[in-house]
Amino acid sequence: MGLPYAGEYSTLRGCASLTYKNGFTMTVLRRIATASPPHRVDNTHLKSAVATWLANDPDSLARFGRVLSSAGVATRHFVLSPEEILSLGGLQQRAAIFEEYAPALGIDAAQRALGQTAAKDVGTLIYSSCSVPTIPSIDALILEGLGLERTTLRVPVYQHGCAGGIFGLRLAHKLCRPGAAVLTCAVELCSLVFHNDDHTGQSVVASAIFGDGAASALLTDTGPGLEIVDTFSFLIPGTRDQMGYDAFDDGPRLRLKSELPQVLSQNAPACASAFLERNHLTPKEVGYWLFHPGGVKILKLLEETIGLTREQTRWSWDTLSRVGNMSSATVLFVLESFMREKIYKPGDYVLLTGVGPGLTLELILFQVRG
């Protein structure tokens, strides 16, 4: 697989097509909220369910044990019990389950993100998911559940995968207008991508790290919070096969290549440095780095290659341990955890980093406003 050469990143500085500043006013992330489904599953319960799943495949069962012991995930949440997940049927049933559970989860997160903001003041609703493709998208149900105006601009996003949450924020930055807030909402039921007959290595890894959840963010043109300074997107050449879903008659199946952590560690540091240089900053001037926690190996390699301390990235580790990987919603869980602590001060810089199919690197540079 070909990796980008060093000079590839020199083209990123000043490239207008990669900049999504809205040209009208600043954009401030005011509030963010998350929601988790009721089935909280620890590793003891999970091991019991997987022992049933892989009872006739001792090699895969042993592999699962090794993966789980090093995955860094302690608990996750699912809309169904592990036993019910084991008996999932075809795509029709999975879509019905998604329609039943996903809207309420999204509404829960979005209502708390709105806070005291009036529904009539929301001009745009950006919805992200990659779990189950439903048409029409459930963003219409979320809009109705929140009581938003029926003239609200709806932007459903499906194929950005794990980068969907950060893409939603980047798009909100472009669409935010004075007096018209933007609400983003990511809902992922990754458990619905599980297939009982799939004992491949990537399926075993997915069973050890993925969970369900929803997150929502409110962005306005004024007020205290995290101001978006700049955004950045880079499509890594020659990496389209690294991550995604493969289409089967019974629904999508996860594609996750073992080379993924190394590919990211070889590209993300240079990408981040070029982005920061465009904003007259160095990595040392950014106090907080919020990564999409795709896995322990990815987090460790990014820390080592960029030269970061665990104190600068601990919210990603905490999120991975508490709720696992929930695709597009995960990075918003990381951001919510960081904002909840309020350890930052006005003027501090925060870098949010995500990765999605493509492979696509997505970055947002924030500065804290008083």
pLDDT at 370: 76
pLDDT at 11: 37
Query: Do residue 254 and residue 314 come from a single domain?
Result: yes
Query: Do residue 216 and residue 317 come from a single domain?
Result: no
pTM: 0.90
Query: Do residue 131 and residue 207 come from a single domain?
Result: yes
Q: Which helix (H) or strand (E) holds 90?
A: none
pLDDT at 161: 87
The 3-state DSSP class for residue 68 equals helix
Query: Do residue 163 and residue 256 come from a single domain?
Result: no
pLDDT at 356: 87
Query: Do residue 91 and residue 229 come from a single domain?
Result: no
pLDDT at 291: 94
Query: Do residue 124 and residue 207 come from a single domain?
Result: yes
Through-space distance between the first and last CA atoms of the chain, rounded to whole angstroms: 46
Antiparallel, parallel or unpaired: β 122-128 and 75-78: unpaired
Within a domain: residue 1? no
Query: Do residue 186 and residue 37 come from a single domain?
Result: yes
Query: Do residue 190 and residue 271 come from a single domain?
Result: no
Give all strands of the β-sheet with 288-291 in edge-to-edge order: 153-157, 122-128, 181-189, 212-220, 28-35, 225-235, 360-369, 349-356, 288-291
Name the token pair of 251. 């629904």
Of the residues 176, 200, 220, the one at which a domain ends? 220
Query: Do residue 90 and residue 175 come from a single domain?
Result: yes
pLDDT at 320: 96
pLDDT at 4: 36
Within a domain: residue 182? yes
Antiparallel, parallel or unpaired: β 181-189 and 153-157: unpaired
- What CATH number is associated with residue 118? 3.40.47.10
Within a domain: residue 26? no
Of the residues 186, 220, 254, the one at which a domain ends? 220
pLDDT at 25: 64
Query: Do residue 72 and residue 213 come from a single domain?
Result: yes
Within a domain: residue 303? yes
The one-digit pLDDT tens for each residue of the chain (370 residues) are: 333 333 344 434 333 223 334 444 689 999 999 999 999 999 999 999 999 999 999 999 999 999 998 999 999 999 999 999 999 988 889 999 999 999 999 999 999 999 999 999 999 999 999 988 788 899 999 999 999 999 999 999 988 888 899 999 999 999 988 889 999 999 999 999 998 888 988 888 888 999 999 999 999 998 889 999 999 999 988 888 888 787 777 777 778 777 888 888 888 888 999 999 999 999 999 999 999 998 898 899 889 989 999 999 999 999 999 999 999 999 999 999 999 998 999 999 999 999 888 888 999 999 998 7
pLDDT at 321: 96
Of the residues 176, 201, 220, the one at which a domain ends? 220
Within a domain: residue 27? no
User: Domain containing 138: what range?
Assistant: 33-220
Query: Do residue 198 and residue 174 come from a single domain?
Result: yes
The 3-state DSSP class for residue 92 equals helix
Q: Residue 231: name the closest of 177, 167, 170 by CA.
A: 170
Within a domain: residue 83? yes
CA distance 1 to 62: 30
Query: Do residue 53 and residue 99 come from a single domain?
Result: yes
Number of domains in the chain: 2
Within a domain: residue 235? yes
Within a domain: residue 28? no
